[in-house]
């Protein structure tokens, strides 16, 4: 048994088949997946996930925000479970791997342990966090943020989508407003497997990213208010054109990110003209900004620069411009013991790897606030994600799942005092080196 424990590998074909099987829930003609959170297709994939977990002997619970927890019992059920997982919701232009790999690799890990007849000391758990993407309801990663105590469940349930439907109503519509209070369930450690969604591993030819940090993010909602007027009769100097103002704001955001580079990024992902008409000068536009960087000081400097540029554009063009920060997450340092467990599992498998900072946000970033946490990345082709062309290989997905398997077993079997609520010796988050390792 000892050897079996240390030579464990997942069934890569079964994992790959599972990924392809679930892609039919919201599958698009381009080969991607359009599965907005709490949509009917999300409801169907949740049902599929629940049935697959129960078939694997897991006990599935649902909390009041719809997050699914699939528990695998351990020898000592007094210990908090060592968990993995990610999200099954996608962007409207989503791919087959973002989030999905982390949840289905968790299921594969449980199936593999069952096949090998292995029971861990602490229980294990796979989690499907509700609404990681933040596309339909803001903010992103809302359910894991509520689990970490950053929002109340009631606040999250009151958030509304563009059609005015609340999270609570959407949960009820698919039958996933569960009975369990959010945050009530202890987690001893959390490991999230995810595609990198960036170009580094693919370009460098490494199989695994040992993720020890995640960059910070700030989301803004903005409005530009000018004056609707006739497209044919309003002389250019007399216009208060909200669209021309918005164009300058988009270019200013791009310029501010470049000026604060090389890591800083800024994106205007949404822009909506109120009452659009081809022969009316736009007077009212709502827009969003997504700003990110690994350093909090840079994020703060970017916000100040953006506000200064926006004030200048508004004054020069006689436009009223608002910019409200609706969500932010400071940069995260993952827990060194869990990072070390990922690195040890990766080395044990002889996989080429490097330390990495995550450019994308993940549920792990919230969970790290209260639970020892780290992440595992695998390459995706050309770093493409949030696009139907998102693609990863069976080999890389299998390697990532093998690292996840061995990391979870090592953490679940780690010696610890009965009173320890987390993996032995794990204390507060501390800075860790992010220098690329071999």
Would you tell me which residues interact with ligand HGY (CB under 6 A)? 132-134, 140, 360-361
Query: 192 or 337, CB closer to ligand HGY?
Result: 192
Query: 52 or 360, CB closer to ligand HGY?
Result: 360
Tokens in use for 150? 């950053």
C-alpha dist (Å) from residue 131 to 86, 136, 146, 177, 295: 10, 8, 11, 13, 25
Query: 113 or 217, CB closer to ligand HGY?
Result: 217
CB of 184 to ligand HGY, least distance (A): 25
Site string for Mn ion, 295-334 (x = CB under 5 A): ----------------------------------------
Q: What is d(CA 388, CA 381) in angstroms, rounded to the nearest whole number?
A: 12
Tell me which stretch binds Mn ion (CB under 5 A): 18-26, 93-101, 247-255, 284-292: 93-101
Q: Which member of 99, 106, 178, 400 binds Mn ion (CB under 5 A)?
A: 99
- What is the secondary structure of 67-81 as a DSSP string? -EEEEE--S-TTSPP
CB of 18 to ligand HGY, least distance (A): 21
The pairing of beta strand 189-195 with beta strand 216-225: unpaired
To 10 degrees, the CA torsion angle through 114, 380, 48, 173?
A: 140
C-alpha dist (Å) from residue 367 to 196, 225, 248, 332, 363: 19, 39, 37, 10, 6
Query: 34 or 119, CB closer to Mn ion?
Result: 34
Residues near Mn ion (CB under 5 A), total: 2
CB of 165 to Mn ion, least distance (A): 21
Query: 84 or 140, CB closer to ligand HGY?
Result: 140
Alpha helices in 61-210 (DSSP H): 100-116, 142-147, 153-158, 167-173, 200-204
402 binds, among Mn ion, ligand HGY, none (CB under 5 to 8 A by kind): none
Indicate whether 89 belongs to the interface with Mn ion (CB under 5 A): no
CB 67 within 8 A of CB 182: yes
CB of 407 to ligand HGY, least distance (A): 22
CB of 37 to ligand HGY, least distance (A): 11
The pairing of beta strand 208-214 with beta strand 332-333: antiparallel
CB of 232 to ligand HGY, least distance (A): 41
Query: 193 or 360, CB closer to ligand HGY?
Result: 360
Query: 239 or 362, CB closer to Mn ion?
Result: 362
Q: What is d(CA 328, CA 219) in angstroms, rounded to the nearest whole number?
A: 6
Alpha helices in 32-152 (DSSP H): 40-55, 100-116, 142-147
Query: 249 or 360, CB closer to ligand HGY?
Result: 360
Write down the residue that tokens 């970017």 correspond to.
302
The pairing of beta strand 271-273 with beta strand 124-128: unpaired
Query: 43 or 134, CB closer to ligand HGY?
Result: 134
Q: What is d(CA 390, CA 44) in angstroms, rounded to the nearest whole number?
A: 22
Query: 102 or 314, CB closer to Mn ion?
Result: 102
Q: Which member of 42, 64, 98, 303 binds Mn ion (CB under 5 A)?
A: 98
CB of 327 to ligand HGY, least distance (A): 11
Using omega within 30 degrees of 0 as the cis cutoff, is the peptide bond preceding 139 cis? Answer: yes
CB of 266 to Mn ion, least distance (A): 17
Residue nearest to Mn ion (CB): 99
Tokens in use for 238? 């007399």
CB of 148 to ligand HGY, least distance (A): 16
140 binds, among ligand HGY, Mn ion, none (CB under 5 to 8 A by kind): ligand HGY
361 binds, among ligand HGY, Mn ion, none (CB under 5 to 8 A by kind): ligand HGY
| Long-range contacts, stretch 158-164, CB < 8 angstroms, 24+ apart | 161/136, 161/137, 162/136
Beta-strand runs (E) in 205-342: 208-214, 216-225, 229-230, 265-267, 271-273, 280-281, 284-293, 320-329, 332-333
CB of 78 to ligand HGY, least distance (A): 35
178 binds, among Mn ion, ligand HGY, none (CB under 5 to 8 A by kind): none
Tell me which stretch binds Mn ion (CB under 5 A): 95-103, 106-114, 203-211, 410-418: 95-103
Using omega within 30 degrees of 0 as the cis cutoff, is the peptide bond preceding 156 cis? Answer: no
Residues contributing to the site for Mn ion (CB under 5 A)? 98-99
């Amino acid at each position: 048994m000892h050897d079996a424990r240390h030579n464990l590998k997942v069934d890569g074909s079964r994992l790959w088949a599972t990924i392809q099987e679930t892609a039919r829930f919201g599958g698009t003609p381009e080969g991607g997946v359009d599965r907005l959170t709490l949509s009917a297709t999300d409801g169907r994939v949740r049902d599929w996930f629940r049935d697959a977990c129960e078939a694997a002997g897991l006990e599935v619970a649902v909390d009041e925000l719809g997050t699914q927890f699939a528990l695998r019992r351990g020898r000592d059920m007094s210990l908090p479970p060592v968990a993995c997982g990610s999200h099954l919701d996608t962007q409207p232009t989503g791919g087959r791997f973002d989030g999905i790999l982390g949840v289905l690799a968790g299921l594969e890990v449980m199936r593999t342990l069952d096949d090998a007849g292995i029971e861990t000391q602490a229980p294990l758990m796979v989690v499907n966090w509700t609404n990681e993407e933040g596309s339909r309801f803001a903010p992103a990663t809302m359910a894991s943020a509520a689990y970490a105590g950053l929002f109340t469940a009631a606040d999250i349930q009151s958030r509304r989508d563009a059609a005015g439907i609340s999270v609570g109503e959407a949960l009820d519509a698919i039958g996933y407003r569960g009975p369990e209070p959010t945050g009530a369930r202890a987690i001893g450690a959390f490991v999230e497997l995810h595609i990198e969604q960036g170009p580094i591993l693919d370009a460098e030819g490494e199989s695994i990213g040992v993720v020890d940090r995640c960059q910070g993010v700030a989301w803004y909602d903005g409005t530009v208010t000018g004056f609707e007027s006739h497209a044919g009769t309003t002389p250019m100097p007399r216009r208060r054109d909200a669209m021309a103002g918005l164009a300058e704001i988009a270019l200013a955001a791009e310029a501010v990110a470049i000026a604060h580079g090389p890591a800083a990024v800024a994106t205007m992902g949404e822009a909506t003209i109120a009452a659009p008409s081809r022969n009316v000068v736009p007077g009212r536009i709502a827009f969003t900004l997504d700003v990110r960087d690994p350093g909090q000081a840079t994020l703060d400097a970017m916000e100040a620069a953006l506000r200064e540029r926006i004030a200048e554009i508004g004054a020069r063009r006689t436009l009223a411009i608002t910019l409200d920060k609706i969500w932010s997450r400071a940069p995260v340092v993952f827990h060194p013991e869990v990072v070390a467990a990922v690195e040890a599992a990766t080395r044990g498998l002889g996989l080429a790897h490097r330390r990495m900072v995550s450019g994308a946000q993940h549920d792990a970033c919230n969970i790290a606030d209260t639970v020892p946490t780290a992440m595992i990345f695998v390459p995706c082709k050309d770093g493409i994600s949030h696009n139907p062309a998102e693609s990863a290989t069976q080999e890389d997905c299998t390697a990532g799942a093998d690292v996840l398997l061995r990391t979870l077993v090592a953490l679940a079997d780690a010696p610890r005092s009965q009173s320890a609520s987390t993996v032995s010796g794990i204390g507060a988050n501390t800075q860790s080196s992010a220098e690329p390792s071999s």
